[in-house]
Amino acid sequence: MSVVAATALAVGACGSGDADPRTSTSPTAVTQTAPVTRGATPSSPTVVEPIRLSVPSIKVSAELVAVEAKDNVVSPPAGAVAWVRGYDRVLPGEVGTSVVTAHVIEGKKAGPFVDLQELDKGDTVSVTDATGAKVVYTVTETRVATKKQVSTDPGVWGENRDTKRLALITCDDDGGFRPDGHRVSNFVAIAEAA
């Protein structure tokens, strides 16, 4: 996984107070809603992609879409919460770490993760797939980190073969802006399924 791409991911998920064309809120990847087959063997299980993320404690119930990096930037569609396809990340609901991102601000209005910083340890997050199956996660830690720290964070990008984990990432709304208009740091919440 490229450090540059991870840094761009952390930046692209933020939005800014201004409608800056360099910080697009338009989708950067095609969303698939049909089941997809993993791996090359005929015995590989069919995986149904997730379609909805719910965080009751901060009143988030949003469409969950897949996005890929384009020119090393991941930009979730306006109004949606996106899981990152690629970089050896898994679909939300699978064993491994899934990176999920959404905007704090979209143009001049609140994005889906505007209140993500209100999450506390013990809060729940659920992911529902197209069949209606739901995986419930519990927040185990929250933190503010610089974009560089996030880009090398083992809890986000490290190997994980034991747990179903979500790394929820958005911009830190309190840390101010860099000269390029992007936020200085990110807010990260790690949640794991029982």
Q: Kindly tell me if the per-residue pLDDT of 28 is higher than 90.
A: no
Mean predicted lDDT score pLDDT of the chain: 78
Give me the domains of the chain, ranges plus CATH numbers: 3-26+49-193 (2.40.260.10)
pLDDT at 38 over 50: no
Q: How many residues does the chain have?
A: 194
Instruction: Tokens 């797939």: give the residue.
Output: 129
Instruction: Identify which has the larger pLDDT, 156 or 22.
Output: 156
41: pLDDT strictly greater than 50? no
pTM comes to 0.78
Q: Which residues contact 71 (CB under 8 A, 6 or more apart)?
A: none
Residues marked as catalytic: 103, 171
Average pLDDT over residues 145-172: 91
Amino acid 125 reads V
pLDDT over 90 at 112, yes or no? yes
**Chain segment 81-103, per-residue pLDDT in tens:** 999 998 888 999 999 999 999 99
